Structure 1
């Protein structure tokens, strides 16, 4: 069988699977035009997102951007080999130059969190549709600006909260939640008990010549260089992200909001901090509880980067408690547990090893998450084709991101907060309102909704 024929069958199969989950209107390979795509941030997850897109749609990779020349060259080799193209791929150290010279139709953003907002806005303004990893911002006003840009320039922006496209969770929403098996829901618990906080304490080092550390830092505070920030070291610092709230809670909170049709919380409160003694430099909370309050419903989050999980089957998960039963969900599985003598339902995550055998050779791939990302990409493309909103539209990504940021602010200030998105202020709290926008390092200029 020829490569083109095999690719046709695989992509048609992916589209069929997608249409079985949603009425996308995409029924065959031929309706998808070949798109010019660029990737900003060529680390582990940036490449993973691009590989998933390559598996379900015809694309031309017109540029890669990274401030680490070694990482950029490695990505170019891997992506070139996967695409089968022998053409030299344009490589950039500054994403602005890539946007100006290549004019991509689609931009995937896989850079660290502190870059998401600026890069998304610049890509939107250049005319591109954007797939941006979560969280969309590290402060609330950044997120408002990305949303404003997407709407002003009429671009599709899909956020990488792919639980909304996870096959077994799509099934759970349809067959459990929407079907009314839970009854009235009054309580939700969400958690992460992974020991994922980096507690190391590396010495200061000379900046290697292959890394543009000033550009890597961008608008964030400039920390003394103490080693390559890739693959998680940067996540140990609030300078570059929103801690475990912005990394892990956002996924589960976003999934719950999608499942239950929830918008902005009525109020947000949080407590926590660094409770364990350790010699590391990390300044993110190792223990935190947050409450996202709605009318007659609390969504409660807890993470600990130490100790044992409250439920070993669901160490990173949500549990939705209804009057008729409970739905437990995670990237790996779901369980419906009815009250009384009803029928229990269990589903495991979908793997597609036979359909996509190249997944098995991909370094560090999350095999259980690959089907969800493929469907998320197809949903993104369907929105571009039809001119609609994707399942993880930028507004939904903003609500989930900002809510987690506000939880961190509540923890810092020691009081509950209520955000008014229409006025872009924390109601009755001038101090908290002042924290909605953090100071940028020059010469970078903080974006605002009215000036994008």
Structure 2
């Protein structure tokens, strides 16, 4: 059943549109509207068309029988550019929207791709589920712990297929890693070291506040985030370094790599404890709020996971600027997206290696297979490669580490049954986001 804007408001008892948005008619460009898809066709729509979102759409369109029938973005310039790029490939022009709520009323949409900034993952995903559409939502699942919780509830309440964009779960490299770990040759894995050193983590160069570019609905970009003057440093490409919209390297690469440590133990919950340290090393010419130097330790009983990043650096352990090291009794398995290899542990008594050195073993990265898996699951109704619970587990873990620093608590204990921290009132203030009125969290 289609939910109009009024139904969005009355059904959930929260006004979703601000005065600035409601003051004028929604921006909709006429375009190709396909008929409802037959069983062998899947009609997809994209919400958030800049960079990552459009890349994910392109991977979907490589699968036979997939059509893009609608696109939405708060930046008309981006929207028209992406639409033109599709037409240059001889694809039909999709219907174009400025507001995701208008897009969700289009009846022929089977699935929605949410490729927005992190603070805009929750509401489009939940309302797409409510309207009977399956969803591919980018990682991290959301920009707060409570949003993640609600997205899990919506997925199960409305019985939808939701794939979280942690595409390493569809990668030949990482699937090979998991198969090897389950064989047990490495012995008990007692600790996992993860690192991600990237130059882009320093954030953007400082810019003065100014006017939003022509064609940008800045109020709708902010959405539930606090009202602030427009600043180019907080916009396209670099929004993730500001807490209103993202969580820095921890929720970007951190989520991808931490997810591998959870997958190795089939963990689908946040850690029991998190300890974090970090700081801002140099802000002389940079604009950011997230930490450029950070270490976090995640405790799952006798299973420890350590994350660290050093923004502005492109080197790291094992000659990799990013990677995961599974430290076992007999050796250490080191992996990145391109390859994995095993370094044997030395047996001092026998004067020999405990196992043979292996690798490097190379394989496919998973960028194409992950959307393909989602599309297969739409038809089969089987669970996708990265379920909503798995997406929540790693997103909450990453948020816990950031909250440990932001709250000043540093050492946090998590009560999964209550969805809150058991040892810090200050940290609990970060669990539920304070949405800017008139936006509010759905009640599920």
Q: 1:349 and 1:231 mapped to 2: Cα distance?
A: 33
Cross-structure match for 1:423 = 418
Q: 2:144 and 2:354 mapped to 1: Cα distance?
A: 47
Query: Any idea what SS the aligned residue of 1:101 has?
Result: coil
Cross-structure match for 2:74 = 67
Q: 1:284 and 1:75 mapped to 2: Cα distance?
A: 30
Any residues of structure 2 matched to 1:23-38 within 5 Å, and which? 33-38=40-45
Task: Confirm or deny: 8 A CA contact 1:168 1:334 kept in the other structure.
Answer: yes
Q: Deviations over 1:114-155 (max 9, x none)?
A: 100111111111111100100111110000000000000000
2:207 is equivalent to residue 213 of structure 1:
no
Task: Confirm or deny: 8 A CA contact 1:186 1:321 kept in the other structure.
Answer: yes
Structure 2 residue runs of 5 or longer lacking an equivalent are: 1-37, 346-352
Task: Confirm or deny: 8 A CA contact 1:271 1:414 kept in the other structure.
Answer: no
Query: Any idea what SS the aligned residue of 2:183 has?
Result: coil
Q: Which moved more, 1:305-314 or 1:286-295?
A: 305-314
Cross-structure match for 2:358 = 345
Query: Any idea what SS the aligned residue of 2:62 has?
Result: helix
- TM-score (norm: length of structure 2): 0.85
Any residues of structure 2 matched to 1:201-280 within 5 Å, and which? 201-227=206-232, 231-264=236-269, 265-280=271-286
Moved over 6 A (4+): none
2:190 is equivalent to residue 186 of structure 1:
yes
Task: Confirm or deny: 8 A CA contact 1:219 1:441 kept in the other structure.
Answer: yes
Query: Any idea what SS the aligned residue of 1:241 has?
Result: coil
Say if 1:224 and 1:373 are closer, same or farther in 2 by CA, change over 3 A: same
Query: Any idea what SS the aligned residue of 2:40 has?
Result: coil
Any residues of structure 2 matched to 1:358-369 within 5 Å, and which? 369=365
Q: Deviations over 1:256-283 (max 9, x none)?
A: 1112322331211111121234232211
Any residues of structure 2 matched to 1:156-167 within 5 Å, and which? 156-167=161-172
Q: 2:363 and 2:87 mapped to 1: Cα distance?
A: 28
Give the CA deviation at 1:223.
Answer: 2.7
Any residues of structure 2 matched to 1:44-443 within 5 Å, and which? 44-82=51-89, 84-85=90-91, 87-174=92-179, 176-196=180-200, 197-227=202-232, 231-264=236-269, 265-307=271-313, 309-311=315-317, 313-339=319-345, 340=353, 342-347=355-360, 349-350=362-363, 369=365, 372-412=366-406, 413-443=408-438
Task: Confirm or deny: 8 A CA contact 1:177 1:260 kept in the other structure.
Answer: no
Give the CA deviation at 1:191.
Answer: 0.6
Give the CA deviation at 1:232.
Answer: 2.1
Q: 1:231 and 1:346 mapped to 2: Cα distance?
A: 39
Structure 1 residue runs of 5 or longer lacking an equivalent are: 1-30, 352-368
Q: 1:283 and 1:215 mapped to 2: Cα distance?
A: 22
Q: Deviations over 1:233-270 (max 9, x none)?
A: 21221111112111111110001111232233121111
Q: Which moved more, 1:105-114 or 1:50-59?
A: 50-59
- TM-score (norm: length of structure 1): 0.84
How many residue pairs match? The answer is 397
